[in-house]
């Protein structure tokens, strides 16, 4: 690993002040992705600002909103009684990701900031527009079994690897960001971005900002929710396809529904058209099939990942069915 | 790391030597942005960049004080500096679990943690589990159930298994498999590892 300057801070104010002096510096939280990327030479920051001692680890209910600090560990969130009771979709998605060791260290903010696991991004001998803009995309026409089928660009077909983020986009979370001037809020669905012409940018966090906390509204979806993750082995693997599904059903009619997918796009992918179709309708297999079909309207495969064109709608139907069946 | 000009070494303090030799390494390895900055601030800039960081931590109930380059992982610190080689380096990328240790009682991959991030913390390695000659119940259970063949992943498996029991993720074989999935065993001793964990979780093994 190329050496770097290491700074440690205990407040978000001083962390932001240090960042403002050197915008190329990177925040170091759990480090489970960043240190790996540095070992491989994919990223070579000259300065790391260790923010692990900044007090942003709260998990609490304020009014109708659940607040989760950016530095709460993935385990702390997944094991918290409040999250298990009110947001089981989030707890289940977190536990579907990584391993117990990694979840103990990885933070909520770091999970949002993690980079794609595309093999071409990780291999510095290969072309990759995300790692080195303009160098080309190795995955298009290459090994692309794990890659995107929705919202792709000609420059990049990488997927965002997070499970947690798929649940958060389904749960209408809001992200609170801060720079030295103050805080701003953006919807979780607007945090990550599609690759477009600038695949080097994973999200809309500005270079002078840090993630402070998440705000998630309480809902009536806790009872009928399911996180389905399809992968190459039973545990500890990234998703081929994942589906967060949550239903509120009254008198056999769907009164609220949330659907989001992972493993299919450059960002966590909310299935808005499918949700709109299902609202007010009966929670039937026929309607689930129609919703799944709608989700695939603009999908396209790149060869090795063509199987996802069938796996994705099948997974949507399965996840909705399992969510509905929870009594 | 050697200076290209041997004369540089003569009569210089160790710190000066490090500064100069570091500068050469840095020039070879840093991106052009850093080189531009270096032209104006040369020596001081890189002296700061390569400064060792003071580190205090407790390993297996013994306090240690050192100063260390920030790029050294907790795994390398344990193995190379403290010579606690029970903790293994497998993949070095957080994918195999061979490097699992406990930090403040929680299992972590020591290969993906910088040593300096663990300032003031309590680390337990496989060497710290036994009580003198008396094996930890999990070590005894691994032997009883043949929870290994080649043994390379075993220290990580045992550290992870102890944590798995402490966390209470042992209500079924499938739950144990799920919560042990961060530890890979290429010999395939998984069923026996699960047997060992079940026995310890029921409190049946006496050390």
- pLDDT, position A24: 86
Does the pLDDT at position B11 exceed 50? no
**Residue B98 carries which DSSP code?**
T
Q: Give the bridge partners for B107, in sequence order.
A: B102
The Cα B101–Cα A3 span in angstroms is: 24
Measured between CB atoms, does A236 come within 8 Å of chain B? yes
Contacts of A71 (CB under 8 A, 6+ apart): A29, A51, A52, A54, A56, A57, A107, A108, A109
Token pair recorded at residue B111: 């290969």
Gap from B91 CA to chain A (nearest CA, Å): 11
Determine, for residues B113 and A31 on separate chains, whether the beta-carbon distance falls below 8 Å: yes
pLDDT of residue B23: 45
Of A50, A98, A236, the CB nearest to B117: A50
Q: A-contacting residues of B 52-111, CB under 8 Å?
A: 53, 69-71, 73, 92-94, 97, 100, 106-109
- At residue B203, the pLDDT reads 87
Which residues on neighbouring strands pair with residue B114, listed in sequence order? B73
Residue B68 main-chain phi, psi, to 5 deg: -150, 150
Pick the CATH number of A224-325 from 3.30.360.10, 3.40.50.970, 3.30.390.50, 3.30.230.70: 3.30.390.50
Average pLDDT, chain B: 84
| pLDDT for residue B26 is more than 50 | no
**Whole-number pLDDT of residue B205:** 56
CB atoms under 10 Å from CB of A31, counted, come to 23
What are the chain B neighbours of A114 within 8 Å (beta carbons)? none
According to CATH, where is 3.30.43.10 located in chain A? Answer: 5-52
Which sign does the torsion angle of CA A247, A202, A74, A15 carry?
negative
Q: How far apart are CA A244 and CA A253, in angstroms?
A: 19
A230 beta partners: A241
Q: Nearest Cα to A165, choosing from A250, A251, A265?
A: A265
Q: Which residues pair with B59 in a beta bridge?
A: B62, B123
Regions of chain A short of the pLDDT cut 50: none
* Site from B23, B117, B166, B168 to mutate, A interface, most A CB atoms within 10 angstroms: B117
pLDDT of residue A74: 98
CB atoms within 10 A of CB B166: 14
Q: Where in chain A is the domain with CATH 3.30.390.50?
A: 224-325
Question: Which chain B residue is nearest to residue A236, measuring alpha carbons?
Answer: B181
| pLDDT tens sequence across B178-195 | 999 999 999 999 999 999
Residue with the two structure tokens 């978000």: A12
- How high is the pLDDT of residue A230? 98
pLDDT band with cut points at 50, 70 and 90 for residue B14? very low
**Cα–Cα dist B191/A231, whole Å:** 22
Model confidence over B90-127: pLDDT tens digits?
Answer: 999 999 999 999 999 999 999 999 999 999 999 999 99
Name the 3-class secondary structure at B62.
strand
Q: Which of A84, A104, A115 to mutate to test the interface with B (most CBs of B within 10 A)?
A: A104
Does residue A10 belong to the interface with chain B, where contact is any CB pair within 8 Å?
A: no
Angle between helices B154-167 and B190-201 (to 10 degrees): 40
Among B30, B71, B182, select the one facing A102 at the smallest CB separation. B182
Residue B49 confidence (pLDDT): 55
Q: Which two tokens stand for residue A46?
A: 């000259």
A6 touches chain B (CB under 8 A): yes
For residue A313, what are the contacts with CB-CB under 8 A and spacing of at least 6? A289, A292, A293, A295, A296
* Minimum-distance CB partner of A44 among B31, B114, B116: B31
**Is the CATH code 3.40.50.300 the one for domain A5-52?**
no
Q: State pLDDT tens for residues A264-321.
A: 999 999 999 999 999 999 999 999 999 999 999 999 999 999 999 999 999 999 999 9
CB-based contacts of A76: which residues, under 8 Å, 6+ apart?
A57, A59
Residue of B nearest to A38 (CA): B71
Residue A273 confidence (pLDDT): 98
B 4-33 → A contacts, CB under 8 A: 26, 29-31, 33
State residue B135's pLDDT score.
98
Q: How far is CA A284 from CA A103, A236, A318, A324, B122, in A?
A: 36, 32, 12, 9, 54
Comparing A109-118, A271-280, B17-26, B161-170, the range with the smallest average pLDDT is: B17-26
User: B203 or A308: which carries more pLDDT confidence?
Assistant: A308
Is B182–A104 a contact, with Cβ atoms under 8 angstroms apart? no
């Amino acid at each position: 690993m190329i050496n770097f300057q290491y700074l440690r801070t205990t407040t978000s104010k001083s962390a932001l002040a240090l960042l403002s002096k050197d915008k190329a510096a990177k925040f170091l939280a759990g480090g489970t992705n960043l240190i790996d990327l540095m070992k491989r030479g994919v990223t070579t920051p000259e300065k790391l600002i260790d923010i692990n001692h900044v007090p942003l680890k709260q998990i609490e209910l304020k009014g109708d909103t659940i607040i989760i600090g950016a530095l709460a560990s993935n385990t702390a969130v997944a094991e918290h009684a409040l999250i298990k009771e009110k947001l089981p979709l989030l707890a289940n998605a977190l536990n579907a990701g990584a391993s117990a060791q990694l979840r103990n260290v990885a933070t909520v903010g770091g999970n949002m900031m993690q980079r794609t696991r595309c093999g071409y991004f990780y291999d510095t001998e290969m072309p990759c527009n995300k790692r080195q803009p303009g160098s080309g995309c190795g995955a298009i026409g290459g090994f692309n079994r794990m890659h995107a089928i929705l919202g792709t660009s000609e420059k990049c077909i990488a997927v965002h690897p997070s499970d947690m983020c798929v649940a958060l986009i389904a749960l209408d979370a809001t992200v609170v960001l801060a720079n030295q001037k103050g805080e701003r809020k953006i919807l979780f669905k607007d945090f990550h971005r599609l690759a477009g012409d600038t695949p080097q940018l994973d999200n809309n966090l500005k270079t002078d900002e840090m993630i402070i906390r998440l705000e998630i509204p309480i809902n009536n979806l806790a009872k009928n929710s399911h996180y389905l993750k399809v992968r190459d082995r039973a545990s500890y693997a990234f998703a081929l396809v994942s589906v967060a599904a949550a239903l509120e059903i009254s008198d056999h009619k769907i009164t609220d529904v949330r659907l989001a997918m992972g493993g299919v796009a450059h960002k966590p992918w909310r299935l808005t058209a499918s949700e709109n179709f299902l609202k007010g309708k009966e929670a039937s297999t026929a309607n689930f099939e129609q919703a799944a079909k709608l989700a695939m309207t603009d999908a396209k495969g790149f060869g090795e990942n063509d199987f996802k064109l069938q796996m994705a709608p099948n997974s949507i139907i399965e996840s909705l069915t399992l969510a509905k069946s929870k009594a | 790391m050697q200076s290209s000009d041997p004369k540089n070494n003569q009569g210089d303090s160790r710190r000066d030597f490090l500064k100069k030799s570091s500068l050469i390494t840095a020039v070879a390895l840093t991106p052009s942005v850093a080189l531009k900055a270096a032209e104006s601030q040369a020596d001081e800039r890189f002296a700061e960049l390569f400064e060792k960081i003071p580190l205090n931590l407790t390993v297996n109930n013994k306090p240690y004080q050192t100063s260390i380059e920030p790029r050294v992982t907790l795994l390398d610190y344990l193995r190379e500096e403290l010579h606690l080689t029970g903790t293994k380096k497998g993949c070095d990328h957080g994918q195999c679990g061979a490097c699992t240790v406990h930090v403040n009682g929680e299992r972590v991959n020591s290969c993906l943690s910088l040593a300096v991030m663990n300032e003031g913390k309590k680390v337990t390695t496989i060497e710290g589990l036994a009580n003198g000659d008396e094996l930890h119940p999990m070590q005894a259970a691994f032997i009883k159930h043949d929870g290994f063949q080649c043994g390379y992943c075993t220290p990580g498996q045992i550290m992870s298994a102890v944590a798995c029991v402490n966390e209470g993720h042992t209500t079924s074989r499938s739950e144990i498999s799920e919560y042990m999935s961060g530890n890979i065993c290429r010999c395939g001793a998984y069923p026996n590892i699960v047997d060992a964990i079940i026995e310890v979780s029921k409190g049946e093994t006496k050390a």
